[in-house]
């Protein structure tokens, strides 16, 4: 009997030793996926809030077009993310974090062309960071559904980045031309023609006395 107990004890220890590395790996993977979903939820909510602000404050059709794309696409992605997190029993808070709220406050204080330039620059930076985050998750996530969500969202983020870069460049071009935020009219681009000198008055000169 003592031998049997010793055998069972050794067997149990062996099973635990084999199982622990796998359990640790699974736990680390779940933590990584959770960190991705948490970060993506906060960032996605911030993009929606920034886009809504741009729709309210900007007078530029190009800025409004980018903002509308971002609001629509990130709202859809956020809904998919929250549903995925609920399915995986992961709690996420889909709201902007402290850094995003500070960015919102700064943009809120800007108007006109200054706002458009700052918004375009923010969208370039934000989407560069988002693409890095989603690229890593699309290959490194342990859960296949999380990995698929990251992979299918990447092209949308890349489109946003391209649009934001074009908007930023357009703002720089306008600023260099001296008319930031508004297209130059042909009348502005063409220098005014020089008026010809007026002809001398006709008629005989007056005679002196």
Name the residue with higher pLDDT: 94 or 193: 94
CA-to-CA separations, 50 to 66, 112, 126, in angstroms, rounded? 11, 15, 11
Question: Does residue 25 carry a pLDDT above 50?
Answer: no
Neighbours of 179 (CB within 10 A): 15
Q: Are 66 and 164 in contact (CB under 8 A)?
A: yes
Q: What secondary structure letter does DSSP report for 95?
A: S
* Helix, strand, coil % in the chain, rounded to nearest 5: 75, 0, 25
Q: Quote the CA–CA distance of 100 and 129 in Å, as a whole number.
A: 13
In this structure, CATH architecture of domain 29-180 = Up-down Bundle (1.20)
Model pTM score: 0.71
pLDDT per position as a tens digit, 162-182: 999 999 999 887 777 765 444
pLDDT per position as a tens digit, 35-54: 999 999 999 999 999 999 99
Neighbours of 34 (CB within 10 A): 18
Q: Quote the CA–CA distance of 159 and 123 in Å, as a whole number.
A: 12
Question: Which of 142, 133, 119 is closest to 77 using CA atoms?
Answer: 133
Name the residue with higher pLDDT: 17 or 74: 74
**Confidence (pLDDT) at 119:** 97
Q: Quote the CA–CA distance of 116 and 136 in Å, as a whole number.
A: 30
Q: Are 47 and 107 in contact (CB under 8 A)?
A: no
């Amino acid at each position: 009997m003592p031998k049997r107990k010793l055998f069972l004890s050794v067997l149990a220890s062996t099973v635990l030793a084999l199982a622990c590395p796998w359990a640790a790996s699974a736990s680390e993977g779940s933590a990584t996926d959770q960190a991705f979903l948490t970060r993506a939820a906060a960032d996605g909510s911030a993009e929606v809030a920034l886009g809504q602000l741009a729709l309210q404050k900007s007078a530029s059709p190009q800025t409004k077009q980018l903002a509308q794309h971002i609001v629509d696409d990130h709202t859809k992605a956020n809904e998919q993310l929250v549903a995925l997190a609920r399915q995986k029993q992961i709690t996420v808070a889909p709201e902007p974090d402290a850094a995003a709220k500070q960015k919102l406050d700064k943009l809120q204080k800007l108007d006109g062309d200054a706002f458009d330039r700052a918004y375009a620059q923010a969208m370039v930076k934000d989407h560069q960071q988002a693409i890095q985050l989603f690229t890593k998750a699309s290959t490194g996530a342990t859960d296949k559904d999380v990995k698929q969500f990251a992979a299918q969202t990447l092209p949308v983020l890349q489109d946003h980045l391209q649009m934001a870069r074009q908007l930023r460049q357009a703002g720089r071009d306008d600023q260099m031309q001296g008319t930031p935020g508004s297209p130059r009219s042909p009348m502005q681009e063409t220098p005014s023609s020089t008026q010809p000198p007026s002809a001398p008055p006709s008629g005989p000169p007056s005679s002196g006395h």
